[in-house]
Amino acid sequence: MKQPTATPTALPGFSDRFVLHRDPHPVRVATFAEDVRAGLGTRPMSLSPKYFYDDLGSALFEAITRLPEYYLTRVERDLLATYGREIAGALDGPLELIELGSGSAIKTRLLIDAILERQPSLTYHPIDISADAVTESSLALIQAYERLRVIAYAGDYFPLLRQKRLVTHGRVLVLFLGSNIGNFEPGDARELLELLAAARHPGDGLLLGYDLKKDPSILELAYNDPTGVTAAFNKNLLGRMNRELAADFDLDAFRFSANWHDEIGAVQSFLISEREQRVRVPAANLDLGFAAGDSIHTESSYKFSREEVVALAEQCGFAEKTTYTDAGGRYAVSLLTVR
Ligand code: SAH
Ligand code: AVI
């Protein structure tokens, strides 16, 4: 096991307010190479979307959030700007914040502002598989907020929750924003909510942001953006295998495709081989043969109704307190509490 705590030395004066746990898992977690071997070594081929987010991938995701077609981030931000104070006051505080998949944590600032209006200080625990994203966002936050303490985790939140390794004191609000829940297949989404409920105490909160079902053409355009940023975000998975696993993917020999599937309620993303080709991934011990049209499933982006999310959350041990939606009914944020 690697030693967890690494405090940055470049910021004298901040070290008492910033702790970073790297690879915070005492048991072994599957590596990128092992997951690539499992995902591409069997048919149908697939890769976990958690591997999108290396340094470049996190930057490409931030670019996606600025695309006119990708309304999710903007609508969620507006909901948090409008209802942040109400959310901060809905649980008996003082609060501590945990955030799963915090990314740039830009929207989180709206809640930090609202919470710091009500209490003198705040401890924030961001967890993100992208070490760059969680480090940069944490440093920016402690520089912006004198009354904030950040305990950050660079790693996969599943094992962290399974091992109940998050130490908190008092009332906790967990943030799971950005429709991240939609990137899990239904069984995994359920397991994540169950783990969250089991790791928390009755009365603790979960703020869950999710994209609502709507006209498929709007959903498909959010992923098939004409600028091609989402295609680049997906192809970065191939680039990452070239960089980290010495693979020889030709990124021009694959095209990106994202389509709405009504029967499952998700936009499904794929990288499709344009021609017959062989690709080697030495670090995963793979020699792959692609026919033209062979596809790699890269991501599911499930869309929900409020009723579906509330029913699932209730089965996992939560109760709905309030659900906030925009006037257009595009996106929802549900405040749930542990029963
Ligand atoms: N919450 C931000 C970022 C969403 S993008 C927003 O709403 O804009 C999804 C984020 O979750 C990325 O930063 C990614 O690195 C992180 N992530 C994805 N899967 C993860 C996992 N299994 N464990 C930890 N972080 C994960
Ligand atoms: C983070 N997640 C909810 C995004 C989504 O919409 O599924 C990731 C993304 N993929 C393509 N565009 C954005």
Ligand 2 near 64 CB (within 6 A): yes
Ligand 1 atom 9: the closest Cα is on which residue? Answer: 101
Q: What is the DSSP secondary-structure string of 180-213? A: GGGGS-HHHHHHHHHHHHHHS-TT-EEEEEEEBP
User: Which residues make Cβ contacts (< 8 Å) with residue 104, sequence separation at least 6?
Assistant: 58, 62, 133, 136, 137
Q: What is the mean pLDDT of residues 107-114?
A: 98
Ligand 2 atom 6: the closest Cα is on which residue? Answer: 301
Ligand 1 near 108 CB (within 6 A): no
Pocket mutation for ligand 2, best pick of 71, 179, 302 (most atoms within 8 Å of C-beta)? 179
Predicted local distance difference test score (pLDDT) of residue 147 = 97
Q: Return the structure tokens found at 305.
A: 């109704």
pTM for the complete prediction?
0.95
Ligand 1 near 180 CB (within 6 A): yes
Position with higher pLDDT, 4 vs 121: 121
Ligand 2 near 130 CB (within 6 A): no
Phi, psi of 47 (to 5 degrees): -135, 150
The CA distance from 97 to 307, in Å, is 26
Q: What is the mean pLDDT of residues 5-34?
A: 71
Q: Is 255 left (phi over 0), alpha (psi -120 to 50) or beta?
A: beta
Q: Rounded to the nearest whole angstrom, what is the distance from the C-alpha of residue 65 to the centroid of ligand 2?
A: 9
Ligand 1 near 60 CB (within 6 A): no
Pocket mutation for ligand 1, best pick of 32, 51, 61 (most atoms within 8 Å of C-beta)? 61
Cα atoms in the Cβ-side hemisphere of radius 13 Å centred on 250: 10
The CA distance from 326 to 305, in Å, is 13
pLDDT at residue 52 greater than cutoff 50: yes
User: Where does the pLDDT of residue 2 fall: very low under 50, low under 70, confident under 90, or very high at 90 and above?
Assistant: very low
pLDDT at residue 268 greater than cutoff 70: yes
User: Where does the pLDDT of residue 113 fall: very low under 50, low under 70, confident under 90, or very high at 90 and above?
Assistant: very high
Pocket mutation for ligand 2, best pick of 71, 99, 301 (most atoms within 8 Å of C-beta)? 301
Ligand nearest to the CA of 154: 1
Predicted local distance difference test score (pLDDT) of residue 13 = 65
pLDDT tens, residue by residue, 170-198? 899 999 999 999 999 999 999 999 999 99
Q: What is the mean pLDDT of residues 137-153?
A: 96
The CA distance from 296 to 271, in Å, is 5
Ligand nearest to the CA of 158: 1
Spell out a b/e string for 210-246, using b for 16 or more CB atoms within 10 Å of the CB, else e: bbbbbeeeebebbbbbeeebbbbbbbbbbbbbbebbe
pLDDT at residue 5 greater than cutoff 70: no
Ligand 2 near 104 CB (within 6 A): no
pLDDT tens, residue by residue, 299-331? 999 999 999 999 999 999 999 999 999 999 999
Predicted local distance difference test score (pLDDT) of residue 26 = 60
User: Which residues make Cβ contacts (< 8 Å) with residue 66, sequence separation at least 6?
Assistant: none
User: Where does the pLDDT of residue 11 fall: very low under 50, low under 70, confident under 90, or very high at 90 and above?
Assistant: low
pLDDT at residue 74 greater than cutoff 70: yes
Q: Which atom of ligand 2 is nearest to the CA of 267?
A: 7
Q: Rounded to the nearest whole angstrom, what is the distance from the C-alpha of residue 291 to the centroid of ligand 1?
A: 32
Q: Which atom of ligand 1 is nearest to the CA of 57?
A: 15
The CA distance from 28 to 213, in Å, is 37
Q: Rounded to the nearest whole angstrom, what is the distance from the C-alpha of residue 101 to the centroid of ligand 1?
A: 3
Q: Which atom of ligand 1 is nearest to the CA of 101?
A: 11
Asked if 151 and 158 count as a contact pair (C-beta separation under 8 A), the reply is no
Ligand 1 near 153 CB (within 6 A): no
Ligand 1 near 130 CB (within 6 A): yes
Q: Return the structure tokens found at 334.
A: 């549900």
pLDDT at residue 29 greater than cutoff 80: no
Predicted local distance difference test score (pLDDT) of residue 145 = 97
Ligand 2 near 295 CB (within 6 A): no
User: Where does the pLDDT of residue 24 fall: very low under 50, low under 70, confident under 90, or very high at 90 and above?
Assistant: low
Ligand nearest to the CA of 256: 2
User: Where does the pLDDT of residue 294 fall: very low under 50, low under 70, confident under 90, or very high at 90 and above?
Assistant: very high
